Structure 1
Amino acid sequence: MDEPRSFGAQLADLAARRPDDVVLRFAAPGGAETALTAGGAHRRASQIAVALDARGLRRGDRLSLALRNTPEFVLSVLAAWRLGAVPVPMRWDLPDWELSRVRAVVRAKVHLAAEDAGWLAATAADPVPELRDLVPPQCHGICSSGSTGTPKVILADRPGYFDARRAAPFAAAWGPVPRPETILVPAPMYHTNGFFTLQSLLAGDRLVVLERFDAAQAVDLIERHAVTTFTATPTMLRRLAALPGIEERDLSGLRWILQGAAPLPPALARRWCGLVGPERMFTAYGMTEGFGFTGLRGDEWAGHEGSVGRPVRGTEIRILDDDGEPVPAGEPGLVHLRCTTSGQHRYVGSAPDAPATSDGFATAGDIGYLDEDGYLYLLDRAVDLIVTGGANVYPAEVEHALLDHPGIADVAVIGLRDPEWGRRVHAVIEPAAPLTAADVITYARARLAPYKVPKTVEFVAALPRSAATKLSRTALVAERGG
């Protein structure tokens, strides 16, 4: 077995073997592109590493990054790894009050944001240093929220050694996938799906990164750069499929595409199987913590419509009732996963650990069932969680922000079915003073990240709270048609 190699050493090796190969392309809104070779990425990451070291960043320290999908983001992550530091990306568009809460949990030694762009650019004039080979004690962190909206960071709690198995294409579980791949990155890189493509980069694949998702631009890039794969949410796939003339576009270079983050509506699954072929369409289910993974290919989906697949990558599944007992095939319960090849994580922040059995099966609170063939079907996400456009919104967090408004006496936030977003964030408000839906949405926009802002608002005389002040969001959803 090969000696373990740090992320920094893996980058240096890639630069030595393929110094002039373009391994990174960045597409800005409007179409401008920036390209980086393997040698250029290694050189710039080394220069930024020295500059970060001068700001006090050391092995084991956290580097928080509130940056868009830009060269600066990727180079700063690579620089952190070169120093043995732990990069923690976060949303760059959070309001100041929310960003300060997240930063208080991350407790980074150095924080980089848009205002640091000039400082980062200036490092290009610095000498290219020789750096010690250092291994981060944790690979990275991903920012998330607890069930009450409390900020937390999920640390990949394993040393930062490159492992080619973790960079293997998801589709390789079904058959060989030619390498190197050219991977379109349409998702924000603070999200685990976008961030994890950096492992593919270190493995020798090429990335084509969108600064901001735009369906028309994404298809242009697929054609121009012979993109072979991408991972997208249902909302992204819906917008891509709705482009005029999409059937005439050249998607033939796509060897496989992966859908995750939320269940895929059957009509949309059939649409994409028609666009790229069922053998190239994959669906996956998993979570940032890496409790486990399921997946299936489009031709399997046709026989198990609505499923998110069978266990892959060493995953085991149990469906348990409220007493922790296994339920028979076809009966719903809490989905529990255990994985032998991942799942090394720990939380930073006050959010509690996910519930788990004594023998290591953990649950994210999703309800589902297994059929007789071992395929998993999800009935809904955790009771309170709203999955909108592939992003997780916790109602309590939105409610807490809205309750600061003097005209709001009480509020309940729920997710309602929506053809565009899967679920839309909907606020049910008991007013304390005259108020309009526009007033509520304007206020929310000043307090919350855009994806958390209610898309619809309704007013009621009183919310149906119990004597114990509890509220059934499930009942509110059912009364409004699901």
Structure 2
Amino acid sequence: MPSTTTPTTTETIGLWNIAAERPELTAMVDPDGTEVSYGELAAKANSYARGLQALGLETGDAIVVLQPNGVELVAAYFAAIQSGLYVVMANWHLVGPEIAYILRDSGAKAFLAHERFAAVAVAAADEAGISPRARFAVGAVLGFRRIEELGAGEGDGRPQRRTAGSPMLYTSGTTGRPKGVRRPLTGADPDAVPVASTSFFALFGIAPFDGHVHLCGSPLYHTAVLNFVAISIQLGHPAVLMDRWDPEEMLRLIERHRVTHSHMVPTQFRRLLALPDEVRLRYDVSSLRVMIHGAAPCPQEIKRRMLEWWGPVVTEYYAATEGGGTVISGEEWLRKPGSVGRPWPNSTVKVLDDDGNELPPGEPGIVYMRMGGSNFEYHNDREKTERSRVGDLFTLGDVGYLDEDGYLYLHDRKNDMIISGGVNIYPAEIENELVLHPKVADVAVFGVPHDDWGEEIKAVVQPAEGVEPSSELTEELLEYARGRLAKFKLPKSIDYHAELPRDPNGKLYKRTLRDPYWQGRDRAI
């Protein structure tokens, strides 16, 4: 089990400070079970940073990392963070041309890959024209230098030039090419943990060196996943990394390492609840203090069952790479079921109509946010930056409303909203009912063309294991829906797919399913 200790001063937080004072403390547990100390992680991050500077990288340059969860990825992140670089964690589900686009768009001066993704890495590096001397890989990849060479022979200790870098996260490319969210570099001392980091964890009752142990079960190319691991390490909390998420393995790791907090998505909740009772009850999860979820809507019945199992430790938040958000504890959610919470301190949340006017409580509109003085732009896309803003507020395009107590409730993405016969229909509401049927493993609902109504409701279902698609199944699901939804919300038809296109963090690529139905037709939204 990772070891923790409580210091007497707050000055000791931060990777390099902890490594200097208590180098033997466990910073992380690699997916293979190897415990990595603060001293070992800091030394590896220092070596990589020295190597990148020896390549000629300057403050404000970018590197791209295409690696699975592990110590090498985390070290690359901290190398960039201490040497004034932008670090892009590439989604390893992308193909060569998509990675090549990110390499070019970010202006990457170095590419750090892994042999697991060798074919994609080589194709992307060749297409993007990455210099052979700036290609490094964990393991053997043709045309790439071994990662051990990065920084070798450049001396010991910290790099010569140290200033705070930043992650540059690429938003999901479901509506065209992904765009990098690029914030101005602060010039801060990388040894100083940003107040925003400690404040963010304080939202969930997590403080430096308070005995927390973080479990990471999702890929680190996701914004929130990366943030939770990095901040945990900075605040003296060991991070236990999984390579690929498995529900029973997660329970085993919780018991083995006395895990206290994690960042999860509703898909993982559903798979945990699908385990047989004897499996779920086999593991001791009494160490859990705050299990945080976001990224996708959670059906209320699923949320209630998780609260019944784990207790009020299930906390939900709504946020964006671009900044700002809301949070709600388990106790609050039971009083305000379906809400995603109230704004964070120093965060603003407003609901506006299409003309930018603020709407009163209870009236749905577009949700806009702002986080203090946070500033960002979509890299190389000023039009998208301006289109997402009203004044100093920005939106992800979600539709929702605030109640009289300031709690936010979400309906759906505006781009996913169905307009049928002039009536607004929110697919998430329909999905949250259908997914509870025992013969449904996953479901997506969207609008398809209709000559008279404009759109009609289509459901695409991934049947549960062992269930075969059939007309009888369709009628069973529709009859189930009739007992739970108003008539105008009922799907007019159901199609079946062996597996719906989701990324490992639970995000559904709905456009992939919807676009074929609209070929040759113009969609209103």
Whether the TM-score (by the shorter chain) exceeds 0.5 is yes
Q: Does 1:159 align with 2:166?
A: no
Determine which of 249, 252, 274 is the counterpart of 1:220.
252
Q: Distance in 2 between matches of 1:146 and 1:453?
A: 9
Distance 1:222 1:147, change over 3 A: closer
| Equivalence map 1:333-348=2 (5 Å) | 333-340=365-372, 343-348=374-379
State yes or no: 1:471 paired with 2:515. Answer: no
SS of 2:396's partner is coil
The residue that corresponds to 1:55 in the other structure is: 55
Return closer, same or farther for 1:70/1:265 CA change in 2, 3 Å cut-off. same
Change (3 A) 1:376 1:321: same
For 1:277, which of 311, 331, 353 is the aligned residue?
A: 311
Q: Which amino acid aligns with 2:294?
A: G
SS of 2:91's equivalent in the other structure is: coil
Q: Is the 8 A contact 2:325 2:349 kept in 1?
A: no
Distance of 2:71 and 2:193 partners within structure 1: 24
Whether the 8 Å CA contact 2:174–2:511 is kept in 1: the answer is no
- 1:76 paired to 2:76: yes
Among candidates 227, 252, 261, match of residue 295 of structure 2: 261
Q: Deviations over 1:39-63 (max 9, x none)?
A: 0111111122222233332322101
Instruction: Find the counterpart in structure 1 of residue 224 from structure 2.
Output: 193
Aligned twin of 2:160: 132
1:22 aligned onto 2:43? no
Tell me the TM-score normalised to structure 1 length: 0.76
Instruction: Quote the offset at 1:282 in angstroms.
Output: 0.7
1:230 corresponds in structure 2 to 262
Distance 2:300 2:506 in 1: 28
Q: How big is the shift at 1:155?
A: 1.7
Helix, strand or coil: the match of 1:284? strand
Total equivalences in the alignment: 414
**Any idea what the Cα deviations from partners look like across 1:254-304, whole Å, max 9, x if unmatched?**
1111110012211111111112212x12110011000x1111111111111
Letter in 2 for 1:195: L
- 1:144 maps onto 2:196 in alignment: no
Percent of paired sites with the same residue: 31
Classify 1:423/1:163 alpha carbon distance in 2 versus 1 (closer, same or farther; 3 Å): farther
1:6-405 alignment to 2 at 5 Å? 10-27=14-31, 32-115=32-115, 116-118=137-139, 119-122=146-149, 127-136=155-164, 138-145=165-172, 148-159=175-186, 161=188, 162-168=192-198, 170=200, 172-173=202-203, 177=207, 179-196=210-227, 197-244=229-276, 245-278=279-312, 280-290=313-323, 292-340=324-372, 343-350=374-381, 352-353=384-385, 354-358=387-391, 360-384=392-416
Root-mean-square deviation over aligned CA pairs = 3.6
Secondary structure of 1:57's counterpart equals coil
Q: What is the one-letter code of the residue matched to 2:246? A: D
Judge which range, 298-307 or 43-52, deviates more. 43-52
Cα 1:15–1:262, aligned 2, differ >3 Å: closer, same or farther?
Answer: same
* Preserved CA contact (<8 Å) 2:63 2:88: yes
Q: What is the match of residue 407 of structure 1? A: none
In the TM superposition, residue 121 of structure 1 has moved relative to its aligned partner by: 3.5
Instruction: Note if contact 1:330-1:369 (Cα within 8 Å) is conserved in structure 2.
Output: yes
> CA–CA distance in 1 between the matches of 2:205 and 2:111?
42
* AA partner of residue 318 (structure 2): Y
Relative to structure 1, the CA distance from residue 352 to residue 23 in structure 2 (aligned partners, 3 Å threshold; closer, same or farther) is same
Gaps of 5+ in 2: 1-10, 116-136, 140-145, 419-426, 450-496
- With normalisation by structure 2, the TM-score equals 0.70
Check whether the contact 1:235–1:421 (CA below 8 A) recurs between aligned residues: no
- Residue 336 of structure 1, CA deviation: 1.2
Tell me: CA distance 1:235–1:174, structure 2 relative to 1, closer, same or farther (3 Å): closer
Q: Retained in 2: the 8 A contact 1:187–1:193? A: no
Matched position secondary structure for 2:415:
coil
Q: Structure 1 364/425 Cα, relative in aligned 2: closer, same or farther at 3 Å?
A: same
Question: Structure 1 residues 384 and 99 mapped into 2: Cα distance closer, same or farther (>3 Å)?
Answer: farther
Q: Secondary structure at the match of 2:395?
A: coil
Does the 8 A contact of 2:84 with 2:166 survive in 1?
no
1:217/1:425 CA distance change after superposition, 3 Å: farther
Unmatched tracts of structure 1, length 5 or more: 387-413, 430-440, 474-482
Is the alpha carbon distance of 1:303 and 1:221 closer, same or farther for their aligned partners in structure 2, counting shifts above 3 Å? same
How big is each residue's C-alpha offset from its partner over 1:183-211, in whole Å with a ceiling of 9 and x where there is no partner? 11112111111111212312222111112
User: Structure 2 CA distance, aligned partners of 1:99 and 1:65?
Assistant: 10
Letter in 2 for 1:100: A
Deviation at 1:463, TM superposition (A): 4.8
Secondary structure class of the residue paired with 1:283: strand
Change (3 A) 1:43 1:147: closer
Tell me, in whole angstroms, the C-alpha distance in 2 between the residues paired with 1:64 and 1:256: 32
Partner of 1:476: none
CA apart distance, 1:158: 3.9
Instruction: Judge conservation of contact 1:314–1:339 (CA < 8 Å) in 2.
Output: yes
Is 1:233–1:260's contact at 8 Å kept on the other side of the alignment?
A: yes
Distance 1:452 1:310 in 2: 25
Partner of 1:263: helix, strand, or coil? coil
